[in-house]
Amino acid sequence: MKLDPQTMDFRDLHHLLAGAIVPRPIALVSTVGTNGVQNVAPLSSISIASVMPPMVTISLSTRRRRAGEQKDTLRNILASKEFVVNVPVTESMALAMNLAGAEYPSHVSEFAETGLTPIPADLVQAPMVAEAPVSLECRMVHMLEFGELPSVSTLIVGQVLRAHIKDEFFADGQLQSSRMQAIGRLLEPYCRTRDIFDFKVEYTL
């Protein structure tokens, strides 16, 4: 089977990319609007852009019905230049994560609708998610847009200003990610990370 992306529509291209690049980590990205409403949304398009300086990327793809129509997360980030990446989504957070992905009016806080707990960050106005093993306070440093209306994707590059880690997931000077029971995203369903393995091979970095 060979597919030509130039002949595919948005839905088919999404299914191709999201179905091939798996499993994808899920982040809860929290922001605050100019109206003061705290927002949190699940994103499964997050990656590490750089280690030094520490940079992460998030991508927000949307089909906009009208020019200028944006999701709350993107609009809040562009206005404040700040956000928090709360990772990973754990099995105990799965239901709240799923609820956070629903469409809510801009005056409604997903924290109130999902039961997730907002707590103050140190350096940014956006709240952190108390239930998350790790919260990364970020400041936007770059924004790139791809595509044309109505299908537009926005890539946000954020510099990590501070990391907050729950004590139970940090030992011997490093994260204990195998303890987190993180979940990942496939095309539509989700997956667990309970069945893990390692290679006893030493590599030189």
Residue with tokens 């060979």: 2
Backbone φ and ψ for 91, nearest 5 degrees, come out as -60, -35
- Which domains, ranges and CATH numbers included, belong to the chain? 25-184 (2.30.110.10)
Contact 137, 123 (CB under 8 A): yes
Reported as a pLDDT band with limits 50, 70 and 90, residue 67 is: low
User: Within 13 Å and on the Cβ side, how many CA atoms surround 43?
Assistant: 30
The model's pTM is 0.92
Reported as a pLDDT band with limits 50, 70 and 90, residue 205 is: low
From the CB of residue 95, how many other CB atoms can be counted at a distance below 10 Å? 11
Backbone φ and ψ for 193, nearest 5 degrees, come out as -120, 35
pLDDT, tens digit, for every residue of 167-186?
Answer: 999 999 999 999 999 999 99
Question: Rounded distance, CA 37 to CA 35, Å?
Answer: 6
